[in-house]
């Protein structure tokens, strides 16, 4: 069964999560500090991290930034702060989900299962056009490395995993772990614009991400033989 690392300094909350996850058959470890979490993640395989934002030695946001330098393990933030800006910041720096306290342990278990299913489904990127290295959170486009934010990385994964499919803004939000009611829909356009600009730096003549007005966006692979 998948292994879960809980990073939470409040014993009652950590015990609640531990009991709920172990009851569903997950292997669970618990630490109280961000530095302990980073050391654990460097030492042993972990399938998902439940990370409290308000840790004593380092914020969960800073811990996630440090983690993303060496691992692509899925991260679920746990926090008492429900403001939209915090959700957006968490997703931007590489989180897969964001749960606000107080929470239902059953809901957390369901979200854990959904994240693990999504992360294990894999994404087949277009041969010759994109190459992905999940361990380093790196994507190459036509042989050239792309400098992407965590959100851009996930958007590109989603597009390339389903060539020619039109995704709505809501579907794209769901693919990066954002709630569709977070008032964040139009910001997807900004990230698409940034992603397109980075692709054009490598292939100015190409337009792999297409806009479908009133519907959303899609990835259109280059014609066979057009990739150089």
Q: What order do you get walking across the sheet with 97-100 strand by strand?
A: 27-31, 3-7, 48-52, 75-79, 97-100
Q: Residue 181 pLDDT more than 70?
A: no
Mean pLDDT value across residues 57-86: 82
CB burial class (10 A; 0-12, 13-18, 19+) of residue 151?
buried
Please compute the mean of the pLDDT values over residues 179-208 and round it to a whole number.
Answer: 80
What pLDDT is recorded for position 224?
A: 44
Question: Distance between CA 76 and CA 97 in Å, rounded?
Answer: 5
Residue 178: pLDDT above 90?
A: no
C-alpha 211/C-alpha 174 separation (Å) is 18
Per-residue pLDDT, 150: 75
- Domain 130-219 belongs to what topology? Arc Repressor Mutant, subunit A (1.10.10)
2-6, 36-40, 129-133, 167-171: lowest mean pLDDT where? 129-133
Report CA dihedral (127, 133, 137, 142) to the nearest 10 degrees: -40
Average pLDDT over residues 146-165: 81
**For 59-73, 121-135, 179-193, which range has the lowest pLDDT when averaged over its residues?**
121-135
What is the percent of the chain where pLDDT is above 90?
A: 32
pLDDT for 169 equals: 86
The lowest-confidence range among 22-31, 39-48, 90-99, 209-218 is 90-99
Report the distance separating Cα 138 and Cα 131, nearest Å: 8
Query: Is the pLDDT at 228 greater than 50, yes or no?
Result: no
Q: Show me where the domains of the chain are located.
A: 3-121, 130-219
pLDDT value, residue 11: 94
**111 vs 188, residue with greater confidence:** 111
Strand-pair category, 3-7 with 27-31: parallel
pLDDT band per the 50, 70, 90 thresholds, residue 86: low
The correct answer on CATH 3.40.50.10310 for the domain covering 3-121 is no
Query: What is the rounded distance in angstroms from the CA atom of residue 177 to the CA atom of residue 154?
Result: 10
């Amino acid at each position: 069964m998948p292994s879960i690392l809980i990073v939470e300094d409040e014993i009652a909350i950590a015990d609640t999560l531990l009991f709920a996850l172990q009851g569903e058959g997950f292997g669970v470890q618990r630490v109280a500090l961000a530095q302990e979490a980073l050391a654990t993640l460097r030492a042993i395989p972990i399938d998902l991290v439940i990370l409290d934002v308000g840790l004593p030695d380092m914020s969960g946001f800073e811990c996630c930034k440090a983690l993303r330098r060496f691992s692509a393990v899925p991260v679920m933030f746990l926090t008492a702060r429900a403001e939209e800006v915090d959700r957006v910041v968490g997703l931007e720096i590489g989180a897969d989900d964001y749960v606000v306290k107080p929470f239902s342990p059953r809901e957390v278990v369901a979200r854990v299962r959904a994240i693990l299913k999504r992360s294990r489904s894999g994404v087949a990127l277009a041969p010759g056009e994109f190459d992905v290295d999940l361990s380093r959170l790196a994507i190459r486009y036509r042989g050239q490395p792309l400098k992407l934010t965590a959100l851009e990385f996930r958007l590109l994964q989603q597009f390339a995993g389903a060539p020619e499919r039109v995704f709505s803004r809501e579907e794209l939000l769901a693919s990066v772990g954002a709630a569709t009611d977070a008032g964040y829909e139009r910001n997807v356009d900004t990230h698409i614009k940034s992603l397109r600009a980075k692709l054009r730096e490598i292939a100015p003549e190409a337009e792999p991400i297409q806009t479908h007005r009133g519907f959303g966006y899609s990835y259109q692979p280059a014609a066979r033989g057009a990739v150089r």
